[in-house]
Structure 1
Amino acid sequence: TFSAFGIPLLNSFFTSFSIISTFLTSWPFALLVLGWLIYQGITWNHGYWKKRGVPYIKPLPLFGNVKDSVLAKKSIGEVFQDLYWKFDGYKYAGVFSPMKPSLIIRDPDLLKEIFVKEFTSFHDNDLIVDMDADPIAGRNPFFLKGERVTRSRVVPAFSSAKLKIMFPLIQEVCEEFKDLVKNNDNSGEFEARDLCARFTTDVVATCAFGIKGNSLKDPNSIFRQMGRELTNTGTMNTIKLMLLFFIPALSSILKIRFITKKFEDFFMQMVKDVTTYRKENNVTRNDYIDMLIKLKEASNNNEKY
């Protein structure tokens, strides 16, 4: 009986086992397993808000709820505005940006609780720039993490009282802007984006550094060139920004810079020249550079700004 039925059965078993073994060791199976592992890796926390009973929109793998921003179709502000209105009637809602769980607060009382009463628990910025890789952006108050002393000393420079002092400087640039528009020879037509960028560049130059930017008079002035360097929206810069905003840990490992080395060298040399001139000539202008000089003197040169 065994010889009649057992041997064919064993042959069939070993044949099937051989086929399965071949499949399990083949590259299609390896790709299948790899794909499954990758999928699990990028969706492992998609149940984060569901487990906590928070209303949320089901995220897409890799893109979360910010696909249009990742694909550069919309700004991150526009994307979050759309998400905000989708949760009309809720006090708060959960989203993924793109793989990181984020909470959208819609209730004014909750906002007050977070920004005032519980601010010590929520003072960190979402975007953190590696200070060693990018010394300028890394020390920006909008990118700082923790209760770093620089934040408490620099932020007061943006108070309403300080801004009022700078009003005459802004007004002077406004007059130049008016003259440019008035004397335009191009049938009243302007490239609005470029014109506004030049105006902003001159305002920053005079209010922050106390020097003439001359961008309104000369579209190719050195300040305007550096402005383009800072706001360049090329493919590589877009990828860098995406990593900084959405995968900050990876951007830190890769030492990605928000500010280019070219802009950093120009900026550092300019600040050095302006501060040296003001100290040697006892010049006071009530602008941002003046505040930095005072901070430097108060710190006894022990703190970098």
Structure 2
Amino acid sequence: MQPAAVNVLADATLPEFPNHYRGKVRDTYELPDGRLILIASDRLSAFDRILAVIPHKGQVLTQTARYWFEKTADICPNHVLEYPDPNVVVGRRLKILPVEIVVRDYLAGTTGTSVLTLYKQGQRNMYGHHLPDGLRDNQRLPKPIITPTSKAFDAGHDEPLTAQEIVTQGLLTAAQWDAVSAYALALFARGQTLAAQQGLILVDTKYEFGLDADGQIVLADEIHTPDSSRYWIADTYPAKFAAGERPNSFDKDFVRSWVAARCDPYVDPIPEIPAELIEGASKVYIEAFETITGQTFHPPAASDGPILERIRRNLAPYRP
């Protein structure tokens, strides 16, 4: 979807490493000692499918998550062990809990499980919460709510759940649900506070948790990245909301909204995404990283060659 000369990471297959699992965005390898190598590609996933490949996206995700893992380590233990490459994290192997935790503070979203989509369909009771009539698109909710979904390990669709269903179905114990709920709300509160200092609104986000070898609940995957979270530019919110428009954002609605306006993305073929939209999305990801973290983004050096070859060199010490 980009010219061949553009240095992107569409695939992170490394045959010399064992136990490869190719996710929507990340390629994962499980080492014999139990450590995991997680490589963030430049694939853009939405609507349970891959939409495009966005230059620099994988590096942005890894480095943004690194910023947040370090800023929240006092709240919740996480899986990170080290960062051998800008696109790579080496982490602890966890037993991933079968529930994805989504925290929302606004009536927003475009996917089939978003509160805005369900609300527009006439639903007022969702995820175990009751929302009042008369809410408008992108309005702030009375308080942050957790909207959990089943974790679709087989690449199927995530399904909405309530806290009661999670416990009665045996997906989590009551104690585990209480723990992950408390962790999620505390992480989200920290995220909103730090985002506000950067002129951003952290609108909603997802968290994944797992159990380590001792049964301890550990934060996994990523945290508060442009893929897992929706950010709005704070100073655009009042006027945009008053006009009934979506505030300026850093999240992947940039491409997702373009696709959703042209097809049913859960059913129809995805139309070819214009090169200028992909270039614009790349700039959005970089701007997001710099605004969220206050750090300068350093793109791959031309002297490093293709991204996958750089990753292969940096992972040589981990090769079994």
Structure with bigger RCO (C-alpha 8 Å, 6+ apart): 2
Using the size of structure 1 for normalisation, the TM-score is 0.25
Larger radius of gyration: 1
Q: Which has the higher strand share?
A: 2
Higher helix residue share: 1
